[in-house]
Chains A and B, each alone.
Chain A
């Protein structure tokens, strides 16, 4: 935990510096007439100080237990696959439309954990896509991209 805390405190320190600098650029104004950057200057200033406190606390702390690895489980690759799939889905959905892109995404997500039974994967993906399409698009009037099918 010690390494994680040190890393995160440095990250937040960096964030606070960026926000602090941007707040100054936006204009802090005066106490009588506070400007756009007034509140965020204060918030980032305190965040920066607390990040330093966390860093020092962590540095001075004696670690009694063993450091835990960042990935606690056995399947970290799944996370990467899912995130990549979500980004690709977001990219292609406007062009392919909701029905096609969602069917492909669902098939991929079901397949990640259920690789042996392809017909079941395809049937589940089709069912999930059609049910959500009719509930959200037809019944609740959500406007999904029409894409290739024009639906």
Chain B
């Protein structure tokens, strides 16, 4: 099958009633989650994951993908109208988006955010189609040492891109590896770190872990405060950007799409870091950089395009290499495993319906999101006005149902509560959950690759540096670690961090 036949086949899969329905539910839930505080894409996926057991893996993946890129759309609405980012990936949109809203240009800001997201999402889908298959072919030549080094590189990049202390992020990644090792040992089949608790024999479930660290902990943190937020009251007006707005934004959208796509493929990149880079690049190349921060439409177009392009691109390492590049993809990875599908280089060949169905659903979902976010924007503004005192018990209930229904055991609720307290404490102490989740999922694969590599090399660690791809990946990871120790790079990181904070003020 060539690309054209394949994508036609993909649309046939996507337009099956159940897949079409799941795509619609996914983007709707995603936008809702993006608009509302408290759950986040990881939590929403984890809640809905148990409900997908009776459906096909293709439908499940279409649903999860819909949530993921729906969140990117929905998050921009709160950033622009409330100046509270719905998600981490829309933090930077607050700066110029809300300024535009204050100047009576909320409509064009929302419009360009939605159109930019749509264009970037479409470009990213094309890239996904073109890159994933050659990469999967190349990945067939990789062995355990290469996989070990690539996963190490991914983990190091995630910790390097941490918003707070890199040292703490590395510590969390190590804790993730330790937590991931709880349960039966993959090679000997004997239990470890179960401390006599039978329910831990199968390990800690990803759903209660994610729910606890992201969902429950955020609710607990919000409960401390007054739970009030002000929604932008003025009329939103015309959502269609003017000709000048389009002219001002066209290169920003294109640059944002390319930056998002490239950073999305890289392990650790995802939709969170790319908007920051796209915004910084746009400011750098602008003839009027002083406009940024005062309501420049490019400051909305670039990050919104970048986060959507990155969301699509981050599927590439998962589908072609079997390596989840960020915590959200780690949930995709778990979903595939639960449905009996081994992510890796053979996935596209053995399950073309899944791959092409997913690709086609991305096109469909992007179109649906445009309808959801432009003509129906008024509905999301109303959702924004629901008081948190009504939302929080419901969010907590969804977390409880999600944790319980994974295995139908109450023990998972205890695990969720435990990690909720852990997550809440981590927030207070300045530790991030993302490296922990990614390492938790990668941990067993990492260990397997390490032990297999040592068996192949008869105990020699040189195997990791005598094979070129492995050596390059480890070398890159080592350089990143070294750059953290270097005082010059430490200073640059601090300057970059304080720059963004100042701009946000």
Q: What is A's interface to B at a CB cutoff of 8 Å?
A: 1, 4-5, 7-8, 12, 15, 19, 22, 26, 30-40, 43-44, 46-47, 50-51, 53-54, 57, 70-76, 78-79, 82-83, 86-87, 89-90, 93-94, 102, 105-106, 109-110, 113-114, 124, 128, 132, 136, 140-144
Measured CA separation A114–B390 after assembly (Å): 9
Q: Which of B223-231, B315-323, B352-360, B495-503 contacts A (4 or more CB under 8 A)?
A: B223-231
| Given known A-B contacts A4-B428, A34-B450, A113-B392, A43 and B177 have beta carbons under 8 A apart | yes
Measured CA separation A89–B414 after assembly (Å): 10
Taking the complex as formed, is B190 at the interface, i.e. its CB lies under 8 A from any CB of chain A? yes
A30, closest chain B residue (CB) = B459
Taking the complex as formed, is B378 at the interface, i.e. its CB lies under 8 A from any CB of chain A? no
Measured CA separation A9–B421 after assembly (Å): 18
Contact B450 A132 (CB under 8 A): no
Residues of A within 8 A of B170 (CB): 50
**A–B pairs, 8, beta carbons within 8 Å:** A5-B429, A32-B458, A73-B226, A79-B223, A83-B421, A89-B400, A114-B389, A140-B51
Chain B CB count within 10 A is highest, among A15, A53, A142, for A142
Query: Of A35, A57, A79, A93, which one neighbours B410 at CB under 8 angstroms?
Result: A93
Query: Of A34, A51, A73, A144, which one neighbours B454 at CB under 8 angstroms?
Result: A34
Contact A40 B224 (CB under 8 A): no
Measured CA separation A147–B450 after assembly (Å): 47
User: 4 shortest A-B CB distances, which residue pairs?
Assistant: A73-B224, A31-B459, A109-B393, A113-B389
Taking the complex as formed, is B245 at the interface, i.e. its CB lies under 8 A from any CB of chain A? no
| B interface: dominant SS | helix
Query: Of A5, A34, A79, A90, which one neighbours B414 at CB under 8 angstroms?
Result: A90
Taking the complex as formed, is B193 at the interface, i.e. its CB lies under 8 A from any CB of chain A? yes
| A interface: dominant SS | helix
A136, closest chain B residue (CB) = B401
A38, closest chain B residue (CB) = B451
Residues of A within 8 A of B414 (CB): 87, 90
B405, closest chain A residue (CB) = A142
Contact A109 B51 (CB under 8 A): no
A25, closest chain B residue (CB) = B192
Measured CA separation A43–B97 after assembly (Å): 43
Taking the complex as formed, is B23 at the interface, i.e. its CB lies under 8 A from any CB of chain A? no
Q: What is B's interface to A at a CB cutoff of 8 Å?
A: 50-51, 54, 167-168, 170-171, 174-175, 177-178, 181, 185, 187-188, 190, 192-193, 219-220, 223-227, 389-390, 392-394, 396-398, 400-401, 404-405, 408, 410, 413-414, 417, 420-421, 424, 428-431, 443, 446-447, 450-451, 454-455, 458-461
Query: Of A15, A71, A128, which one neighbours B397 at CB under 8 angstroms?
Result: A128
A87, closest chain B residue (CB) = B417
**Smallest beta-carbon distance A86→chain B, Å:** 5
Query: Of B192, B394, B450, which one neighbours A36 at CB under 8 angstroms?
Result: B192
Contact A54 B226 (CB under 8 A): no
Contact B401 A132 (CB under 8 A): yes
**Smallest beta-carbon distance A102→chain B, Å:** 7
A107, closest chain B residue (CB) = B393
Residues of A within 8 A of B175 (CB): 12, 15, 47
Measured CA separation A47–B157 after assembly (Å): 18
Contact A36 B188 (CB under 8 A): yes
Contact A82 B397 (CB under 8 A): no
Residues of A within 8 A of B178 (CB): 19, 40, 43-44, 47
Measured CA separation A82–B430 after assembly (Å): 23
Contact A32 B223 (CB under 8 A): no
Residues of B within 8 A of A142 (CB): 50-51, 401, 404-405, 408
Contact A109 B396 (CB under 8 A): yes
Chain B CB count within 10 A is highest, among A8, A22, A39, A75, for A39
Residues of B within 8 A of A32 (CB): 454-455, 458-459
Contact B167 A54 (CB under 8 A): yes
Measured CA separation A148–B420 after assembly (Å): 29
Given A12-B171, A39-B450, 10 more pairs with CB closer than 8 A: A4-B430, A33-B454, A40-B178, A43-B174, A46-B174, A50-B170, A82-B219, A93-B410, A110-B390, A114-B389
Measured CA separation A34–B401 after assembly (Å): 40
Query: Of A30, A50, A124, which one neighbours B171 at CB under 8 angstroms?
Result: A50
**Smallest beta-carbon distance B247→chain A, Å:** 45
Measured CA separation A70–B458 after assembly (Å): 50
| Given known A-B contacts A32-B458, A90-B410, A40 and B181 have beta carbons under 8 A apart | yes
Measured CA separation A75–B170 after assembly (Å): 32
Residues of B within 8 A of A51 (CB): 171
Chain B CB count within 10 A is highest, among A32, A94, A140, for A140
A111, closest chain B residue (CB) = B393
Contact B171 A47 (CB under 8 A): yes
Measured CA separation A36–B186 after assembly (Å): 9
Query: Of B227, B443, B455, which one neighbours A33 at CB under 8 angstroms?
Result: B455
Measured CA separation A125–B401 after assembly (Å): 15
Query: Of A44, A73, A90, A114, which one neighbours B225 at CB under 8 angstroms?
Result: A73
Residues of A within 8 A of B192 (CB): 22, 26, 36-37, 40
Residues of B within 8 A of A102 (CB): 397
Contact A39 B223 (CB under 8 A): no
Residues of A within 8 A of B168 (CB): 54
Measured CA separation A136–B404 after assembly (Å): 11
| Given known A-B contacts A53-B167, A54-B171, A124 and B223 have beta carbons under 8 A apart | no
